């Protein structure tokens, strides 16, 4: 097994606090978990950015939030407004869902403009931009590769696999998602400029999972199982 410290693993984690049923008490407790384990960031629901910023003041844990979440279908102007508001409230990392319908329509001019406008807003506010592809909705590699190329051209900070909420109807009628797969992570690392980091989200729940994606070039994960992952490290 790869030799790592608890801090190295913790600093790969964006502690995810995004489920619709998470009430304020759960969100506050989640921020305290993030503080306890000194993770990279919390990725919290937009309305709670101010609260998280206050709780995490004076720590090394960053506050991030989501834009156009989870389906990416908001207009560009709305996404830009959301981004500016989140930054004003204290967010320093922005996880933005691309317009998936436009990706599938191969309207690359629209997608490039969308990412560019949000990236410009992030840069003005000194915030990092993570672009979420939602790979479960993109059955063709060519869409993922084109997104990697556009993100490389625009020099965003991260490309990210999934929201964790991109449920796809399965043959048995149930809804589920694959999340961060080996195929997609290796493809994204291969087709994205080396200056851009790769974030795995959806399905990374153990230390073994974390070490595995790290070996494929992933530097950040979205996780709800933070305590289990970090506690499993033997130093």
Domain covering 6-231, topology: TIM Barrel (3.20.20)
* Residue extents of the structural domains in the chain: 6-231
Whole-model pTM?
0.95
Beta bridge partners of 95: 66, 130
The contacts of residue 174 (CB under 8 Å, 6+ apart) are: none
According to the model, what pLDDT value does residue 2 have? 63
Q: Which residues of the chain have pLDDT under 50?
A: none
Q: Hey, is 85 helix, strand or coil?
A: helix
According to the model, what pLDDT value does residue 179 have? 86
According to the model, what pLDDT value does residue 37 have? 97
Alpha-carbon distance of 65 to 207, in angstroms, equals 24
According to the model, what pLDDT value does residue 91 have? 98
Active-site positions? 95, 160, 199
Alpha-carbon distance of 115 to 99, in angstroms, equals 10
CA distances (Å), origin 118, targets 111, 121, 130, 157, 160: 11, 5, 10, 12, 15
Q: In degrees rounded to 5, what are phi and psi of residue 43?
A: -110, 105
Residues 54, 27 contacting (CB under 8 angstroms): no
According to the model, what pLDDT value does residue 207 have? 96
């Amino acid at each position: 097994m790869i030799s790592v410290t608890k801090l190295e693993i913790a600093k790969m984690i964006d502690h995810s606090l995004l489920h619709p049923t998470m009430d304020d008490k759960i969100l506050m407790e989640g921020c305290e978990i993030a503080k306890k384990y000194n993770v990279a960031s919390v990725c919290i629901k937009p309305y709670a950015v101010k609260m998280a910023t206050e709780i995490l003041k004076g720590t090394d844990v960053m506050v991030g939030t989501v834009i156009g979440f989870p389906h990416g279908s908001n207009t560009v102007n709305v996404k830009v407004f959301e981004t500016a508001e989140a930054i004003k409230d204290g967010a320093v990392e922005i996880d933005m869902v691309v317009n998936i319908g436009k990706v599938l329509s191969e309207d690359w001019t629209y997608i490039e403009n969308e990412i560019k406008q949000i990236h410009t807003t992030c840069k003005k506010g000194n915030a990092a931009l993570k672009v979420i592809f939602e790979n479960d909705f993109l059955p063709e590699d060519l869409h993922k590769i084109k997104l990697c190329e556009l993100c490389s051209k625009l020099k965003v900070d991260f490309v990210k696999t999934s929201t964790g909420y991109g449920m796809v109807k399965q043959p048995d009628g149930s809804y589920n998602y694959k999340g961060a797969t080996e195929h997609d992570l290796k493809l994204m690392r291969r087709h994205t400029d080396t200056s851009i980091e790769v974030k795995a989200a959806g399905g990374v729940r153990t230390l073994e999972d974390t070490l595995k994606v790290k070996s494929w070039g992933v530097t950040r994960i979205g996780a709800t199982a933070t305590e289990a992952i970090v506690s499993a490290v033997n130093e």
